[in-house]
A = this chain, B = another copy of it.
Amino acid sequence: MTGQFDIERVIAALKSVIPADKMPVALHEPWLCGNERVYLNDCLDSTYVSYVGQYVDRFEAMLVEFTGVKKAVAVVNGTAALHVALKLAGVEPGDEVLTPALTFIATANAVTYCGAIPHFVDSEERTLGLDPFKLRDYLKDITTANTSNCINKYTGRRIKAVIPTHTFGHPVDLDPLEDICDKYNITMVEDAAEALGSYYKGKHTGNCGKLSILSFNGNKTITTGGGGAIITNDENLGKLAKHLTSTAKIPHRWEYRHDAIGYNYRLPSINAALGCAQMEQLPGFLEKKRDLAVRYNSAFQNIAGIQFFTEPLHSTSNYWLNVLLLDEANPEQRDKLLEKTNDEGIMTRPAWTLLHKLAMFQNCPCMDLSCAANLEARLINIPSSPNLISR
Protein backbone atom coordinates (compact mmCIF):
# COMPACT_ATOMS: atom_id res chain seq x y z
CA MET A 1 0.00 0.00 0.00
CA THR A 2 1.33 3.44 -0.92
CA GLY A 3 2.96 5.36 1.91
CA GLN A 4 3.05 2.36 4.23
CA PHE A 5 6.40 1.32 5.63
CA ASP A 6 7.73 -1.82 7.22
CA ILE A 7 8.28 -1.15 10.93
CA GLU A 8 10.81 -3.96 11.25
CA ARG A 9 12.91 -2.46 8.46
CA VAL A 10 12.81 0.95 10.15
CA ILE A 11 13.98 -0.54 13.43
CA ALA A 12 16.72 -2.48 11.65
CA ALA A 13 17.90 0.76 10.02
CA LEU A 14 17.99 2.53 13.41
CA LYS A 15 19.94 -0.38 14.90
CA SER A 16 22.40 -0.31 12.01
CA VAL A 17 23.38 3.21 13.10
CA ILE A 18 23.02 3.09 16.91
CA PRO A 19 25.87 1.08 18.53
CA ALA A 20 24.56 -1.95 20.43
CA ASP A 21 26.44 -0.97 23.59
CA LYS A 22 24.48 2.31 23.74
CA MET A 23 21.12 0.59 24.16
CA PRO A 24 18.72 1.56 25.67
CA VAL A 25 19.25 4.92 24.02
CA ALA A 26 17.85 8.33 24.96
CA LEU A 27 16.74 11.00 22.50
CA HIS A 28 19.52 13.43 23.44
CA GLU A 29 21.63 13.30 26.55
CA PRO A 30 24.40 15.44 28.04
CA TRP A 31 27.97 14.46 27.22
CA LEU A 32 30.32 15.69 29.94
CA CYS A 33 33.69 14.55 28.69
CA GLY A 34 35.76 17.75 28.94
CA ASN A 35 36.69 20.19 31.66
CA GLU A 36 33.33 20.06 33.45
CA ARG A 37 34.80 18.64 36.69
CA VAL A 38 37.82 20.95 36.60
CA TYR A 39 35.77 24.12 36.18
CA LEU A 40 33.06 23.13 38.65
CA ASN A 41 35.59 22.29 41.35
CA ASP A 42 37.47 25.52 40.62
CA CYS A 43 34.18 27.41 40.94
CA LEU A 44 33.55 25.76 44.33
CA ASP A 45 37.12 26.53 45.46
CA SER A 46 36.58 30.20 44.64
CA THR A 47 33.28 30.21 46.64
CA TYR A 48 31.85 32.37 43.81
CA VAL A 49 29.08 29.90 42.99
CA SER A 50 26.31 32.47 42.62
CA TYR A 51 26.06 35.62 40.45
CA VAL A 52 29.54 37.04 41.00
CA GLY A 53 32.69 35.49 39.54
CA GLN A 54 34.48 34.87 36.27
CA TYR A 55 32.49 32.02 34.74
CA VAL A 56 29.40 33.95 33.61
CA ASP A 57 31.61 36.53 31.83
CA ARG A 58 33.69 33.76 30.25
CA PHE A 59 30.63 31.84 29.12
CA GLU A 60 29.05 34.94 27.58
CA ALA A 61 32.33 35.76 25.79
CA MET A 62 32.48 32.22 24.39
CA LEU A 63 28.91 32.53 23.07
CA VAL A 64 29.76 35.87 21.44
CA GLU A 65 32.82 34.39 19.80
CA PHE A 66 31.06 31.27 18.55
CA THR A 67 27.90 32.88 17.21
CA GLY A 68 29.45 36.12 15.97
CA VAL A 69 26.91 38.37 17.73
CA LYS A 70 27.97 41.49 19.59
CA LYS A 71 26.48 40.66 22.99
CA ALA A 72 25.29 37.55 24.84
CA VAL A 73 23.48 37.56 28.20
CA ALA A 74 23.31 34.25 30.06
CA VAL A 75 20.03 33.49 31.85
CA VAL A 76 18.30 30.62 33.65
CA ASN A 77 16.72 29.10 30.54
CA GLY A 78 15.51 29.71 27.01
CA THR A 79 11.98 30.56 28.13
CA ALA A 80 13.26 33.37 30.36
CA ALA A 81 15.51 34.56 27.52
CA LEU A 82 12.56 34.75 25.14
CA HIS A 83 10.42 36.60 27.71
CA VAL A 84 12.96 39.41 28.11
CA ALA A 85 13.88 39.43 24.39
CA LEU A 86 10.21 40.01 23.52
CA LYS A 87 9.96 42.79 26.13
CA LEU A 88 13.01 44.47 24.63
CA ALA A 89 11.59 44.01 21.13
CA GLY A 90 8.78 46.28 22.31
CA VAL A 91 6.04 43.68 22.73
CA GLU A 92 3.32 45.16 24.95
CA PRO A 93 0.16 43.77 26.56
CA GLY A 94 -2.53 43.30 23.92
CA ASP A 95 -0.08 42.91 21.02
CA GLU A 96 -0.08 39.84 18.78
CA VAL A 97 3.13 37.92 18.15
CA LEU A 98 3.45 35.59 15.15
CA THR A 99 4.74 32.17 16.20
CA PRO A 100 4.76 28.77 14.52
CA ALA A 101 2.04 26.36 15.64
CA LEU A 102 4.60 23.55 15.36
CA THR A 103 7.03 24.44 18.15
CA PHE A 104 7.67 23.76 21.83
CA ILE A 105 5.17 25.44 24.15
CA ALA A 106 7.83 27.76 25.65
CA THR A 107 7.68 29.92 22.50
CA ALA A 108 4.01 30.73 23.02
CA ASN A 109 4.26 30.85 26.83
CA ALA A 110 6.87 33.61 26.65
CA VAL A 111 4.47 35.64 24.49
CA THR A 112 1.78 35.35 27.16
CA TYR A 113 4.22 36.45 29.93
CA CYS A 114 4.30 39.82 28.10
CA GLY A 115 0.49 39.97 28.17
CA ALA A 116 0.55 39.45 24.40
CA ILE A 117 -1.32 36.94 22.24
CA PRO A 118 0.32 34.25 20.09
CA HIS A 119 -0.89 34.29 16.49
CA PHE A 120 -0.13 30.94 14.93
CA VAL A 121 1.59 30.60 11.56
CA ASP A 122 1.91 27.58 9.27
CA SER A 123 5.17 25.70 8.61
CA GLU A 124 6.83 24.69 5.37
CA GLU A 125 8.02 21.18 4.63
CA ARG A 126 11.45 22.14 3.32
CA THR A 127 12.57 23.74 6.64
CA LEU A 128 9.99 22.41 9.17
CA GLY A 129 9.80 26.06 10.28
CA LEU A 130 7.59 29.05 9.66
CA ASP A 131 6.62 29.51 5.98
CA PRO A 132 7.57 33.08 4.98
CA PHE A 133 5.77 32.97 1.62
CA LYS A 134 2.49 31.79 3.06
CA LEU A 135 2.89 34.39 5.83
CA ARG A 136 3.44 37.15 3.24
CA ASP A 137 0.17 36.34 1.47
CA TYR A 138 -1.67 36.03 4.77
CA LEU A 139 -0.48 39.38 6.10
CA LYS A 140 -1.59 41.03 2.87
CA ASP A 141 -5.09 39.73 3.57
CA ILE A 142 -5.44 40.44 7.26
CA THR A 143 -3.65 43.76 7.79
CA THR A 144 -4.68 47.27 7.02
CA ALA A 145 -2.34 49.14 4.70
CA ASN A 146 -0.75 52.52 5.25
CA THR A 147 -0.20 52.47 8.99
CA SER A 148 3.15 52.67 10.74
CA ASN A 149 2.11 49.77 12.96
CA CYS A 150 1.00 46.45 11.51
CA ILE A 151 -2.65 46.14 12.56
CA ASN A 152 -4.66 42.92 12.32
CA LYS A 153 -7.89 44.24 10.83
CA TYR A 154 -9.93 41.37 12.25
CA THR A 155 -8.84 41.76 15.87
CA GLY A 156 -7.78 45.43 15.84
CA ARG A 157 -4.56 44.44 17.59
CA ARG A 158 -1.03 45.39 16.65
CA ILE A 159 1.15 42.58 15.28
CA LYS A 160 4.43 43.57 16.89
CA ALA A 161 6.83 40.69 16.45
CA VAL A 162 7.49 37.36 14.75
CA ILE A 163 9.35 34.43 16.29
CA PRO A 164 10.93 32.11 13.74
CA THR A 165 11.86 28.92 15.62
CA HIS A 166 14.64 26.92 14.01
CA THR A 167 12.83 23.62 14.38
CA PHE A 168 15.00 20.73 15.59
CA GLY A 169 17.99 22.90 14.63
CA HIS A 170 17.07 23.47 10.97
CA PRO A 171 17.17 27.16 9.99
CA VAL A 172 14.05 28.96 8.86
CA ASP A 173 14.38 30.76 5.51
CA LEU A 174 15.23 34.11 7.06
CA ASP A 175 15.80 36.37 4.01
CA PRO A 176 12.20 36.45 2.79
CA LEU A 177 11.05 36.72 6.40
CA GLU A 178 13.28 39.74 6.90
CA ASP A 179 11.69 41.38 3.85
CA ILE A 180 8.26 40.86 5.38
CA CYS A 181 9.42 42.32 8.69
CA ASP A 182 10.76 45.40 6.91
CA LYS A 183 7.62 45.88 4.87
CA TYR A 184 5.17 45.43 7.76
CA ASN A 185 7.24 46.95 10.56
CA ILE A 186 7.32 43.68 12.50
CA THR A 187 10.29 42.92 14.78
CA MET A 188 12.04 39.59 14.36
CA VAL A 189 13.07 37.64 17.48
CA GLU A 190 14.82 34.43 16.44
CA ASP A 191 14.13 31.44 18.64
CA ALA A 192 17.43 29.61 18.17
CA ALA A 193 16.86 27.51 21.33
CA GLU A 194 17.47 24.37 19.28
CA ALA A 195 19.97 25.86 16.84
CA LEU A 196 23.32 26.46 18.55
CA GLY A 197 25.76 25.46 15.81
CA SER A 198 23.29 25.98 12.95
CA TYR A 199 24.03 28.45 10.14
CA TYR A 200 21.84 30.26 7.64
CA LYS A 201 23.76 31.27 4.50
CA GLY A 202 27.03 31.05 6.40
CA LYS A 203 25.92 33.16 9.35
CA HIS A 204 25.16 31.61 12.73
CA THR A 205 21.45 31.60 13.55
CA GLY A 206 20.49 34.43 15.88
CA ASN A 207 22.28 37.11 13.88
CA CYS A 208 19.21 38.17 11.93
CA GLY A 209 16.73 38.88 14.73
CA LYS A 210 16.78 42.22 16.57
CA LEU A 211 17.24 39.92 19.55
CA SER A 212 17.52 36.14 19.54
CA ILE A 213 17.70 33.38 22.11
CA LEU A 214 19.55 30.14 22.81
CA SER A 215 18.85 27.26 25.21
CA PHE A 216 21.22 25.02 27.19
CA ASN A 217 18.66 22.68 28.71
CA GLY A 218 19.82 19.11 29.44
CA ASN A 219 18.48 17.83 26.11
CA LYS A 220 20.22 20.50 24.00
CA THR A 221 23.48 20.32 22.01
CA ILE A 222 25.35 21.75 25.01
CA THR A 223 23.99 22.02 28.54
CA THR A 224 24.42 24.17 31.64
CA GLY A 225 21.99 21.98 33.61
CA GLY A 226 19.35 24.58 32.85
CA GLY A 227 20.21 27.76 31.01
CA GLY A 228 19.71 30.04 28.07
CA ALA A 229 20.95 33.27 26.56
CA ILE A 230 19.74 36.40 24.87
CA ILE A 231 21.99 37.28 21.93
CA THR A 232 21.89 40.49 19.91
CA ASN A 233 23.91 42.68 17.59
CA ASP A 234 22.47 45.81 19.20
CA GLU A 235 24.87 46.65 22.02
CA ASN A 236 22.44 48.97 23.78
CA LEU A 237 19.73 46.31 23.79
CA GLY A 238 22.36 43.87 25.04
CA LYS A 239 23.18 46.12 27.98
CA LEU A 240 19.49 46.55 28.74
CA ALA A 241 19.03 42.77 28.56
CA LYS A 242 21.80 42.34 31.14
CA HIS A 243 20.15 44.95 33.38
CA LEU A 244 16.58 43.60 33.11
CA THR A 245 17.60 39.98 33.62
CA SER A 246 19.10 41.02 36.97
CA THR A 247 17.27 43.02 39.65
CA ALA A 248 17.97 46.27 37.72
CA LYS A 249 20.06 47.68 40.55
CA ILE A 250 21.91 50.93 39.98
CA PRO A 251 25.62 50.25 40.66
CA HIS A 252 26.69 51.74 44.02
CA ARG A 253 29.12 50.74 46.72
CA TRP A 254 26.35 50.06 49.22
CA GLU A 255 23.09 51.72 48.25
CA TYR A 256 20.15 49.57 47.13
CA ARG A 257 18.29 51.49 44.42
CA HIS A 258 16.74 50.04 41.27
CA ASP A 259 15.57 51.89 38.17
CA ALA A 260 13.31 49.27 36.54
CA ILE A 261 11.36 46.12 37.26
CA GLY A 262 13.93 43.39 36.71
CA TYR A 263 13.27 39.68 36.25
CA ASN A 264 16.09 38.08 38.22
CA TYR A 265 16.79 35.58 35.44
CA ARG A 266 20.59 35.52 35.93
CA LEU A 267 22.45 32.27 35.29
CA PRO A 268 24.45 31.20 38.38
CA SER A 269 28.22 30.77 38.09
CA ILE A 270 28.19 27.02 38.65
CA ASN A 271 25.91 26.59 35.64
CA ALA A 272 28.11 28.91 33.58
CA ALA A 273 31.20 26.91 34.63
CA LEU A 274 29.55 23.80 33.16
CA GLY A 275 28.73 25.86 30.05
CA CYS A 276 32.36 26.92 29.55
CA ALA A 277 33.47 23.29 29.54
CA GLN A 278 30.68 22.36 27.14
CA MET A 279 31.42 25.24 24.74
CA GLU A 280 35.00 24.00 24.41
CA GLN A 281 33.59 20.72 23.10
CA LEU A 282 30.90 22.18 20.85
CA PRO A 283 32.80 21.92 17.54
CA GLY A 284 33.45 18.23 18.24
CA PHE A 285 29.80 17.65 19.23
CA LEU A 286 28.61 19.28 16.00
CA GLU A 287 30.94 17.18 13.89
CA LYS A 288 29.69 14.00 15.52
CA LYS A 289 26.06 15.06 15.22
CA ARG A 290 26.42 15.79 11.51
CA ASP A 291 28.24 12.49 11.07
CA LEU A 292 25.34 10.72 12.80
CA ALA A 293 22.90 12.44 10.43
CA VAL A 294 24.92 11.23 7.45
CA ARG A 295 24.75 7.67 8.78
CA TYR A 296 20.99 7.87 9.36
CA ASN A 297 20.48 9.35 5.91
CA SER A 298 22.35 6.51 4.32
CA ALA A 299 20.56 3.86 6.41
CA PHE A 300 17.16 5.19 5.35
CA GLN A 301 17.94 5.62 1.64
CA ASN A 302 16.22 2.49 0.52
CA ILE A 303 13.36 2.20 2.97
CA ALA A 304 10.04 2.81 1.29
CA GLY A 305 7.39 4.96 2.94
CA ILE A 306 9.67 6.94 5.22
CA GLN A 307 12.51 9.43 4.71
CA PHE A 308 15.27 10.96 6.78
CA PHE A 309 14.96 14.77 6.87
CA THR A 310 18.05 16.68 5.68
CA GLU A 311 19.01 20.32 6.18
CA PRO A 312 17.34 22.97 4.03
CA LEU A 313 19.32 24.45 1.12
CA HIS A 314 21.44 27.46 2.07
CA SER A 315 21.84 26.18 5.61
CA THR A 316 24.15 24.09 7.71
CA SER A 317 22.21 22.45 10.51
CA ASN A 318 23.30 21.15 13.91
CA TYR A 319 20.82 18.27 13.41
CA TRP A 320 19.80 18.78 17.02
CA LEU A 321 17.03 16.18 16.95
CA ASN A 322 17.08 13.98 13.88
CA VAL A 323 13.78 13.63 12.05
CA LEU A 324 12.06 10.85 10.14
CA LEU A 325 9.10 11.83 7.97
CA LEU A 326 6.47 9.30 6.98
CA ASP A 327 5.59 9.70 3.30
CA GLU A 328 1.93 9.98 4.16
CA ALA A 329 0.07 11.19 7.24
CA ASN A 330 -0.75 7.98 9.03
CA PRO A 331 -1.12 8.58 12.78
CA GLU A 332 -1.90 4.93 13.42
CA GLN A 333 1.33 3.67 11.82
CA ARG A 334 3.26 6.55 13.41
CA ASP A 335 2.03 5.54 16.87
CA LYS A 336 2.82 1.89 16.22
CA LEU A 337 6.39 2.86 15.33
CA LEU A 338 6.64 5.06 18.47
CA GLU A 339 5.41 2.20 20.62
CA LYS A 340 7.62 -0.45 19.09
CA THR A 341 10.83 1.65 19.15
CA ASN A 342 10.29 2.80 22.75
CA ASP A 343 9.49 -0.78 23.77
CA GLU A 344 12.79 -1.88 22.27
CA GLY A 345 14.76 0.79 24.14
CA ILE A 346 15.15 3.23 21.26
CA MET A 347 13.68 6.49 22.49
CA THR A 348 11.59 8.25 19.85
CA ARG A 349 8.86 10.88 20.02
CA PRO A 350 6.42 12.62 17.74
CA ALA A 351 6.43 16.37 17.07
CA TRP A 352 4.83 18.61 19.68
CA THR A 353 1.04 18.77 19.66
CA LEU A 354 0.24 21.84 17.55
CA LEU A 355 -0.10 24.72 19.99
CA HIS A 356 -3.48 25.99 18.76
CA LYS A 357 -4.99 22.65 19.82
CA LEU A 358 -4.10 23.19 23.50
CA ALA A 359 -6.86 24.62 25.71
CA MET A 360 -4.81 27.71 26.65
CA PHE A 361 -4.31 28.74 23.05
CA GLN A 362 -7.43 27.52 21.27
CA ASN A 363 -8.91 31.00 21.04
CA CYS A 364 -5.75 32.59 19.67
CA PRO A 365 -5.78 33.80 16.05
CA CYS A 366 -4.25 31.47 13.47
CA MET A 367 -3.91 31.07 9.73
CA ASP A 368 -4.57 27.88 7.79
CA LEU A 369 -2.20 25.37 9.41
CA SER A 370 -2.47 22.48 6.98
CA CYS A 371 1.25 21.97 6.44
CA ALA A 372 1.96 22.04 10.19
CA ALA A 373 -0.87 19.55 10.76
CA ASN A 374 0.49 17.30 8.04
CA LEU A 375 4.02 17.44 9.49
CA GLU A 376 2.69 16.73 12.99
CA ALA A 377 1.06 13.54 11.71
CA ARG A 378 4.19 12.39 9.86
CA LEU A 379 7.13 13.37 12.05
CA ILE A 380 9.20 11.26 14.44
CA ASN A 381 12.37 12.26 16.29
CA ILE A 382 15.05 9.61 16.69
CA PRO A 383 18.12 9.36 18.99
CA SER A 384 20.56 12.21 18.31
CA SER A 385 23.23 12.39 21.03
CA PRO A 386 26.74 13.15 19.78
CA ASN A 387 28.13 10.25 21.82
CA LEU A 388 26.37 7.75 19.52
CA ILE A 389 29.41 8.20 17.26
CA SER A 390 32.47 6.52 18.76
CA ARG A 391 35.56 8.65 19.18
Alpha-carbon distance A47/B37, docked complex (angstroms): 12
Among A47, A106, A260, A342, the one with the most B-chain Cβ atoms within 10 Å of its Cβ is A47
A261 within 8 A of B: yes
Q: Which positions 343-362 of chain A face chain B at CB distance < 8 Å?
A: 348-353, 358-360
Q: Which residue of B lies closest to A93 (CB)?
A: B115
Residues of A contacting B: mostly: loop
> Scoring A residues 235 to 274 as 1 if CB is less than 8 Å from chain B, else 0, what string do you get?
0000000000001110001111111111111111111001
Binds B, one of A5-13, A28-36, A153-161: A28-36
Contact call A254/B40, Cβ cutoff below 8 A: no
Q: Which residue of B lies closest to A110 (CB)?
A: B264
Q: Which residue of B lies closest to A349 (CB)?
A: B254
Alpha-carbon distance A105/B217, docked complex (angstroms): 28
Contact call B105/A266, Cβ cutoff below 8 A: no
CB proximity of A257 to chain B, nearest CB, Å: 5
Among A106, A219, A258, the one with the most B-chain Cβ atoms within 10 Å of its Cβ is A258
Q: Which residue of B lies closest to A359 (CB)?
A: B259
Please pick, from B51, B79, B338, the residue contacting A226 in the complex, using a CB distance under 8 A.
B51
Q: Which residue of B lies closest to A36 (CB)?
A: B44
Please pick, from B79, B256, B271, B342, the residue contacting A352 in the complex, using a CB distance under 8 A.
B256
A68 within 8 A of B: no
Please pick, from B105, B271, B359, the residue contacting A270 in the complex, using a CB distance under 8 A.
B271
A330 within 8 A of B: no
Residue pairs across A and B with Cβ atoms less than 8 A apart, 26 shown, are A32-B47, A32-B49, A36-B44, A40-B40, A40-B41, A49-B223, A50-B217, A51-B226, A76-B76, A76-B226, A76-B265, A80-B264, A105-B256, A105-B258, A112-B261, A225-B269, A254-B338, A254-B342, A254-B349, A256-B349, A256-B353, A258-B360, A259-B358, A259-B359, A270-B274, A271-B271
